[in-house]
């Protein structure tokens, strides 16, 4: 079922979450162990992130280092299929531009269709760590909007080559990312919103936000979106803060602010256990506030740590 149908049919705010594929060499049981404690909250959908290749350096027999490209977390598509098969819950694969040619994307979309997957979250994807900025694949897409256009085309039965174009298209519900505190590369929020609106006008049907810790940011983002003619559902993304290190790491990696009150409370903690309690409590209050603000669904970035999310969901749903 499409995410938009889940949202339209909902009688109360929904609970959903996101998982990372396990590191190469690990087992899919990790995924099931992360999902099972959260099933009692009846998630209508579960997202699975996509991770492009990165470089590693391997020492050769002659002592020189060889630069090797490898994907540390493969398996997004098969994890989605396994989730749908085992739990009968819609799985949403993240689809990225990075590392994909248009032909790769077309084939990936056909596989997803054959697997009975109805939704995709369309993104540009993170840059490879070494590149220092996003470099599009040759014959690939530079922006999420370009990738979105390809999915929209396939939904209309338009393939890359005319020979295959016809009635047999895909039928994906397309989600995109939104940034209440702006994407780190955008010169300002207004410019960022212009591209967000462009993607909605092209056919994106819902938005999932970057994490944020101040509900005012969500409230003003919703208002700005409405004022700019963006009228699709906007699902807030939430990640409980669990370590002191995240106080500096999260703003750096995700270009977000940590409110003073939360930062001070975390800084005062003596142990990691205390930090976790502060983070969980903040996330519970934030979740309750977002429901009051009318959020249609709360989407949690689990990072595979379902015990924390379970405590939050127990207090909120």
Beta strands of the chain (E only): which ranges? 14-19, 45-48, 54-59, 65-70, 90-96, 119-123, 173-178, 206-211, 234-238, 297-301
SS3 277: helix
Q: Which is nearer to ligand FAD, 58 or 190 (CB)?
A: 190
* Residue among 164, 129, 316, 166 at smallest CA distance from 240: 316
- Chain positions 176 to 195 lying near ligand FAD, rule: CB under 6 A, are 177, 183, 185-186, 191-192, 195
Q: Which is nearer to ligand FAD, 32 or 195 (CB)?
A: 195
Strand partners, 47: 18, 92
Tell which one of 154, 208, 230, 297 touches ligand FAD (CB under 6 A).
208
Using CB under 6 A, which of the segments 123-131, 163-171, 274-282, 307-315 binds ligand FAD?
123-131
Using CB under 6 A, which of the segments 84-92, 142-150, 163-171, 244-252 binds ligand FAD?
142-150
Structure tokens, 82:
């396994």
Return d(Cα 50, Cα 121) in angstroms, integer: 10
- Chain positions 15 to 54 lying near ligand FAD, rule: CB under 6 A, are 49-50
Q: Please classify residue 153 by burial: count the beta carbons closer than 10 Å to its beta carbon, then call 0-12 exposed, 13-18 middle and 19+ buried.
A: middle
Using CB under 6 A, which of the segments 34-42, 119-127, 245-253, 267-275 binds ligand FAD?
119-127
Q: Which is nearer to ligand FAD, 164 or 184 (CB)?
A: 184
**Positions that interact with ligand FAD (CB under 6 A):** 49-50, 94, 96, 123-126, 143-145, 177, 183, 185-186, 191-192, 195, 208, 210, 237
């Amino acid at each position: 079922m499409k995410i938009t149908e889940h949202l339209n049919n909902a009688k109360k705010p929904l609970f959903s979450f996101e998982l990372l594929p396990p590191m190469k060499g690990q087992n899919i049981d990790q995924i099931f162990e992360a999902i099972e404690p959260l099933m009692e909250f009846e998630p209508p959908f579960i997202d699975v992130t996509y991770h492009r290749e990165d470089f590693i350096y391997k020492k050769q027999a002659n002592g020189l280092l060889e630069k090797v490209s490898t994907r540390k977390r493969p398996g997004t598509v098969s994890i989605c299929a396994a989730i749908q098969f085992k739990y009968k819950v819609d799985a949403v694969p993240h689809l990225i531009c990075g590392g994909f040619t248009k032909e790769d994307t077309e084939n990936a979309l056909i596989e997803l269709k054959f697997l009975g997957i109805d939704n995709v979250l369309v993104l540009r994807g993170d840059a490879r760590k070494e590149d220092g900025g996003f470099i599009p694949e040759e014959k690939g897409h530079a922006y999420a909007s370009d990738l979105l256009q390809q999915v929209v085309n396939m939904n209309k039965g338009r393939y890359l080559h005319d020979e295959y174009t016809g009635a047999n298209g895909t039928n994906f519900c397309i989600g995109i990312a939104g940034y209440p505190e702006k994407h780190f590369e955008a010169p300002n929020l207004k410019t960022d919103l212009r591209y967000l609106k462009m993607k909605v006008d092209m056919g994106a049907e819902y938005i999932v936000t970057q994490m944020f810790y101040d509900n005012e940011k969500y409230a003003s983002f919703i208002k700005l979106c409405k004022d700019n003619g963006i009228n699709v559902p906007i699902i807030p993304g939430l990640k409980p803060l669990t370590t002191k290190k995240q106080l500096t790491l999260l703003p750096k990696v995700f270009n977000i602010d940590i409110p003073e009150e939360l930062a001070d409370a975390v800084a005062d903690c003596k142990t990691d256990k205390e930090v976790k309690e502060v983070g969980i409590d903040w996330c519970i209050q934030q979740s309750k506030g977002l429901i009051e603000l009318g959020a249609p669904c709360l989407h949690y970035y689990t990072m595979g740590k379902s015990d924390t999310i379970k405590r939050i969901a127990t207090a909120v749903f």
